[in-house]
């Protein structure tokens, strides 16, 4: 039934019915609880107010954007309503101030912003009305509501302009930061190899169990899901592409200039109507002066005035074309009399003509056409896959269908958490190498159901099937024994290596063999690329010997001295830090600005009505 409903929602009439149905249930639930509070104001300024229903709608929208979809009561307990109320306060105050100042945002500007939004573009990068409506629908927004949001953002940009570009800070503050960045540490150090695993006696189960109990939280597995998925690429359909001669000819006509090109020359040109000036220019060239310097110093011309870029022979005046294209690179020619006056040229660079064989051109055109047409076929197949989903087909049936003319591998992921970490009993948890959209679809899809078809990068599309949901688990020792052993061994190797190193250093009267100066921004230490090790060294706050691990090595480090490297207080660094401070200042000042608007427009808050609503909800539960 769910699949049938999903398919029917393509009808505009059914969409209207569904909206009315949802609103009916929503108002039924809200109405029972709000009772006499219905329609009452939570926030208000002079001529605008926000009702409890609007606040609840915003909270619902916020909680439905989360993969776990907490209940309304859970959202309230977690403080979600606070963030929503802060956002609504800002919106009502910004728009009230904009009205007070008679600010407005032209519809054309709103449309530009909409068309630039990547979420509303199809895979070819063009604005798609379908994707626009689908994205708004997924976010629980109407077109009107979205335009209101754009209007609010534009109003805030106009209002915040006076303090948005604050970028001047005391140079003493900036210098302190630059001193920190240019800190140098003089250290003594000794390098030791981490001992081999073979040197460690195999532990008993009792020792491993004790280690397991002391580090039990490391083996906890949160709520996870097992999923199967397939990837759908345009390349899957290349064998279904049929290319005819007309398509090749049309493609060649459009792109022929990219395959064959005539010789081009990059030129500097000085043109004047005055023959005396032209002769003066060429005389200075003969004296060994530079073309650009002559133009600047004697004729007040910038490089942009004389640099005419790469030109084909046909783009030059007939009088100078042959002369210029017979000359050598770096040669200066002229004066040449043309219909524009007396011209002097310098050949700066030469691009040789590019000739590609007809066979290579046809091969490349077919390759590009195949890519384009396979992408078109993919879009057609996606519609067919949507139909198969609606008909109740599972992932195996879809992957084995005649759509692909090939075997599509079904990939499996076990124990995927909400934040995209993969868990297992015998391996260390690791982050799944997929974009956030992929993780969201795992958790936004019902159990035993298929996700919507989606793409996360370029033209690769995904379809996920949620196989199972696994409860939060504290695995027993026997399940994670191999992992416990690996961690115990790694820890033991470092402990034994430190003991061995301490003995060697003690025999040398705590003298370390090597001296080195390191900078905070260094990446390599003792031929090891490990910026984290360097950060650790700069975190040492005493002159005692400390032990730090890097890859298969143990370093004994002692900081002898700290100093600041000499550096030039450059304008570039100063501006960069100012920009960073400016963003921080903007965030702080914008908060103050909103508070000031609340006083100016007499913002009234009636949050008690919201508290009463949730208190009533708890009583009913």
pLDDT of residue 169: 61
How far is 190 from 12, CA to CA, in rounded Å? 74
Q: Is 410 left (phi over 0), alpha (psi -120 to 50) or beta?
A: beta
How far is 255 from 262, CA to CA, in rounded Å? 15
Cβ contact 481:413 at 8 Å: no
The answer for residues whose C-beta is within 8 angstroms of residue 558's C-beta and 6 or more apart is: 187, 188, 189, 512, 543, 544, 545, 546
Cβ contact 496:265 at 8 Å: no
Nearest to 320 by CA among 296, 339, 336: 336
* Domain 261-351: top CATH class: alpha beta
Task: Match domain 2-162+600-620 to its CATH number in 3.30.450, 1.10.3470, 1.10.4030, 1.20.140.
Answer: 1.10.4030
The residue ranges of DSSP E strands in 181-274, in sequence order, are 183-193, 224-232, 264-272
How far is 423 from 46, CA to CA, in rounded Å? 55
* Mean pLDDT to the nearest integer, 170-193: 86
Token pair, residue 145, equals 């509501």
pLDDT of residue 185: 94
* Mean pLDDT to the nearest integer, 130-153: 77
* DSSP calls for 123-154: TTS-B-HHHHHHHHHHTT--HHHHHHHHHHHH
pLDDT of residue 468: 95
The answer for residues whose C-beta is within 8 angstroms of residue 411's C-beta and 6 or more apart is: 228, 229, 230, 231
Q: Does 335 have pLDDT greater than 80?
A: yes
How far is 465 from 411, CA to CA, in rounded Å? 10
Scanning the structure block, which residue is given the tokens 């076929």? Answer: 377
Which ranges in 191-340 belong to alpha helices (H)?
205-214, 245-259, 275-286, 291-299, 303-306, 318-326
When pLDDT is cut at 50, 70 and 90, the band that residue 208 belongs to is very high
How far is 446 from 3, CA to CA, in rounded Å? 12
* Mean pLDDT to the nearest integer, 100-105: 81
Cβ contact 323:334 at 8 Å: no
DSSP 196: P
User: Which of 58-62, 170-174, 321-325, 359-363 has the weakest average pLDDT?
Assistant: 170-174
Q: Nearest 5°: phi and psi at 568?
A: -90, 125
Cβ contact 441:496 at 8 Å: no
pTM for the model stands at: 0.52
pLDDT over 90, % of the chain:
29
Token pair, residue 269, equals 């040109």
Q: Where are the domains positioned within the chain?
A: 2-162+600-620, 183-219+478-564, 224-240+384-470, 261-351
Cα distances (Å, whole numbers) of residue 351 to 218, 256, 347, 354: 63, 18, 11, 9
Q: Does 43 have pLDDT greater than 70?
A: yes
């Amino acid at each position: 039934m769910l699949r049938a409903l999903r398919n029917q929602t393509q009808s505009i009439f059914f969409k209207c019915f569904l909206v009315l149905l949802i609103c009916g249930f929503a108002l039924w639930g809200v109405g029972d609880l709000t009772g006499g509070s219905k329609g009452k104001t939570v926030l208000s300024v002079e001529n605008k107010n926000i009702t409890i229903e609007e606040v609840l709608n915003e909270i619902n929208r916020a909680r439905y954007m989360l993969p776990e979809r907490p209940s309304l009561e859970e959202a309230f307990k977690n403080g979600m309503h606070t963030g929503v109320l802060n956002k609504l306060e800002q919106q009502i105050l910004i728009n009230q101030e904009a009205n007070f100042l008679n600010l407005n945002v032209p519809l054309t500007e709103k449309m530009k912003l909409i068309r630039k939004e990547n979420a509303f573009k199809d895979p070819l990068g063009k604005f798609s009305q379908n994707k626009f409506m689908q994205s708004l629908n997924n976010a629980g927004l109407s077109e009107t509501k979205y335009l209101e949001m754009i209007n609010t953002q534009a109003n805030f940009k106009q209002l915040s302009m006076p303090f948005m570009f604050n970028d001047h800070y005391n140079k003493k503050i900036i210098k302190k930061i630059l001193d920190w960045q240019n800190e140098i540490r003089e250290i003594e150090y000794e390098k030791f190899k981490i001992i081999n695993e073979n040197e460690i006696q195999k532990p008993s189960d009792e020792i491993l169990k004790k280690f397991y109990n002391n580090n039990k939280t490391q083996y906890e597995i949160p709520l996870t899901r097992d999923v199967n998925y397939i990837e759908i690429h345009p390349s899957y359909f290349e064998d279904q592409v049929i290319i005819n001669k007309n398509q090749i000819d049309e493609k060649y006509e459009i792109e022929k200039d990219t395959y064959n090109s005539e010789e081009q020359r990059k030129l500097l040109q000085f043109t004047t109507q005055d023959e005396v000036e032209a002769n003066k220019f060429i005389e200075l060239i003969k004296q060994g002066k530079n073309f650009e310097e002559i133009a600047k110093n004697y004729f007040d011309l910038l490089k942009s005035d004389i640099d005419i870029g790469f030109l084909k022979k046909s783009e030059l005046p007939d009088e100078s074309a042959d002369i210029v294209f017979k000359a050598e690179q770096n040669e200066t020619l002229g004066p040449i009399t043309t219909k524009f006056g007396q011209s002097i040229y310098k050949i700066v660079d030469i691009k040789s003509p590019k000739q590609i064989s007809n066979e290579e051109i046809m091969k490349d055109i077919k390759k590009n056409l195949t890519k384009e047409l396979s992408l078109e076929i993919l879009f057609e197949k996606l519609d067919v896959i949507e139909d198969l989903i609606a008909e109740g087909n599972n992932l195996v049936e879809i992957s084995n269908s005649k759509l692909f003319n090939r075997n599509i591998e079904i990939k499996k992921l076990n124990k995927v958490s909400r934040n995209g970490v993969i868990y297992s009993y015998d391996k260390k948890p690791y982050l799944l190498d997929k974009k956030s959209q992929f993780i969201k679809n795992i958790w936004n899809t019902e159990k035993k159901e298929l996700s919507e078809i989606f793409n996360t990068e370029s033209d690769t599309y995904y379809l996920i099937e949620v196989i199972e949901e696994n409860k939060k688990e504290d695995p027993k020792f026997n399940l994670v024994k191999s992992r416990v052993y690996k961690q115990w061994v790694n820890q033991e190797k470092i402990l034994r290596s430190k003991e061995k190193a301490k003995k060697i250093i003690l025999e040398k009267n705590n003298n370390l063999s090597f001296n080195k100066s390191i900078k905070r921004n260094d990446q390599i230490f003792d031929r090891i690329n490990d910026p984290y090790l360097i950060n650790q060294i700069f975190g040492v706050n005493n002159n005692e010997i400390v032990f730090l691990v890097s890859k298969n090595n143990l370093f004994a480090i002692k900081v002898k001295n700290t100093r600041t490297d000499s550096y030039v207080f450059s304008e570039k660094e100063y501006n960069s830090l100012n920009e960073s401070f400016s963003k921080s200042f903007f965030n702080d000042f914008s908060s103050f600005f909103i508070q000031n608007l609340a006083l100016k427009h007499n913002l009234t808050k009636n949050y008690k009505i919201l508290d009463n609503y949730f208190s009533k909800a708890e009583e009913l539960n």
